[in-house]
Structure 1
Amino acid sequence: MFVVSVAAVVLAASTAAQDATPTGANPSAGERGHFDLAIHFPWDPAAIAHHWCKPVAGGFVECLIYASDAPDAPLVAVEEVASEAIYNSLDPAEQRRWHSNVVEAAAGSDPDHPAPSLEEAAAAAEKSGGATYGKLILLFDPTQGDLPTGEPRVVFPHGTEPGAPTP
C-alpha cells in the first residue's frame, strides 16, 4: 500500500519532467546481458542468481538479480560492477563494501565450470580487460516469503568476504 501511494505521488509530480524526456528513452531500455552465477545468496551458496546486466553512466555495469528467469520472478538483489581503476578511486571505507570478482570466480561462482585457481582467474580477468569489483545489495531473501521484507544490505558472495585473499 505504501509503495503504491509513493508511486502515485511520484508519477503525478513527474508529469512535467516526462515531457522533456525523449520518446523511448528510459533507464530500463537497452540490451542486458544474461548470466547465471552461484554463491551470491547467504542462505544457499548453490542457489543461482539470475543476472541481467548492462553498462550504465559513470563507467559501471549494473546487474539486476532475479530469483529465477521466469517473467514474474522477483528482483532480489542489485550488483554494481566497477573497474579496478574506479574501485581504487574509492575511499577505504567504501572499498570494504565491494568484493573482488576475480576472487568470486575462484570461489566457484560459475556453476557450469570448475572453479579456476586464483592465479588462473586473475590471468583471465587481465586478458579480458582487467579485474572488476562488485557491490552486491541484497533486497530480500525470497525463501522467507514473497514479499520484499527486511532491511536491504550489502552481502558478499560466498568466499569473497572481507579478508578473503586477493591476487
Structure 2
Amino acid sequence: MASSDQTPSGTPHIGGGGGDQPVPGKPMSVQQHMLDKGAQMLQSLKPIKEMNQHVCSFAIYSHDMSRQIETHHYATRINQDFLQCAVYDTDDSHGRLIGVEYIITDKLFEALPPEEQKLWHSHAYEIKSGLWVNPRVPEMVLKPELENLAKSYGKFWCTWQVDRGDRLPLGAPALMMSPQAVNMGMIKPELIQKRDNKYNISTDALQKTRMEIAEPEWLNPQADYWKQHGKGFAIDIVPTDMKLRAPFP
C-alpha cells in the first residue's frame, strides 16, 4: 500500500500538503557535499557575492489577492536605477528560491510601454508603512536607501507557490503585487506579527519613524493596475507551433 504522500503507482505527490513539506528527493551524499565544497573554493561565484542586501517584506498574488506571503529578497544593485533580487520563502539555510523581482527607479519606469507598466507595482506604501525591512540594519543607516526605494517600482514573478503546498515548482510563474493601503492590499495582521516577533521589531514603530519619507509627487496609474481596474494578471500555458531552425544549405 502506498504511503500518505504517494500515488498508487508509487510516485510522490508534488502538489499540496502544506508549505512546510520537504522537497522530494534523497538526502545529500557525503560525495556531493565534498564536491560542493571543492567547487565553492575553486569557483568565483561572482554574481552571488554581489548580493549585498537582505530585505524581508510581503507580497500578494495578482490573480488571487487573498493569498499573501512573507518574502525574503537578496538584492544586487546593478546601478543607481536598477536592482535585481533573488526571492526566497525564508532566510534560513534551507530557504527555497521562489521567484525573482526587478526594481527600477521612476525614471526608468516612465520610459516603459503602457502595457508593460501594468505588470509593475509601486513601493511607496510598502516602504512608508514599515512592511519593507532590512533585518538588523539600523534605520538611520537605511534612510537614504528607503527614500530612493519609496519612488521605485518592482516586477515580481513567483516561480514556486510554496504557500499552496507545492513541493516542487509547478506550472507557470505568477505575477505578484506589493501591499497597498486599500481593499485587499492590506497585509493580514497575523503575518506581520509573526515577522515582527522573529526579528524583534515593531512594524507600527517603523511606520512612525518613516512618516517624513517623501512619497512620489505622482504615481503612474498604470502601476498597481488592480487598484484602478480590479483585475490581476495570470499566465496560461498553451501549446504553440515551434519556430524551427532553417536547414543547412
- Per the normalisation by structure 1, the TM-score is 0.64
Show the counterpart of 1:35. 55
Greater C-alpha Rg: 2
Q: Is the 8 Å Cα contact of residues 101 and 154 (structure 2) preserved in structure 1?
A: yes
Q: Secondary structure at the residue paired with 1:63?
A: strand
Residue 153 in 1 paired to residue 174 in 2? yes
Residue 89 in 1 paired to residue 111 in 2? yes
- 2:147 maps to amino acid: S
Residue by residue, what CA displacement relative to the aligned partner does 1:12-31 show, whole Å, maximum 9, x if unpaired?
xxxxxxxxxxx736332324
Change in Cα spacing, 1:152 to 1:162, as seen in structure 2 (3 Å) is same
Residue 128 in 1 paired to residue 144 in 2? no
Show the counterpart of 1:138. 158
Deviation at 1:109, TM superposition (A): 2.8
- 2:171 maps to amino acid: G
Change in Cα spacing, 1:126 to 1:62, as seen in structure 2 (3 Å) is closer
Question: Which runs of 5 or more residues in structure 2 are unaligned?
Answer: 1-42, 135-142, 186-223, 229-249
Structure 2: distance between partners of 1:35 and 1:71: 16
- Per the normalisation by structure 2, the TM-score is 0.45
Show the counterpart of 2:202. none
Change in Cα spacing, 1:148 to 1:157, as seen in structure 2 (3 Å) is same
| Higher RCO (CA 8 Å, separation ≥ 6 residues) | 2
Residue by residue, what CA displacement relative to the aligned partner does 1:61-83 show, whole Å, maximum 9, x if unpaired?
01111011121211112110000
- 1:164 maps to amino acid: K
Deviation at 1:32, TM superposition (A): 2.2
Amino-acid identity (%): 21
Deviation at 1:106, TM superposition (A): 5.3
Deviation at 1:38, TM superposition (A): 2.1
- Which of residues 225, 232, 236 is equivalent to 1:162? 225
- 1:131 maps to amino acid: K
User: What RMSD in Å do the two structures reach over aligned CA positions?
Assistant: 3.2
How many residues of Structure 1 are paired with residues of Structure 2 in the alignment? 131
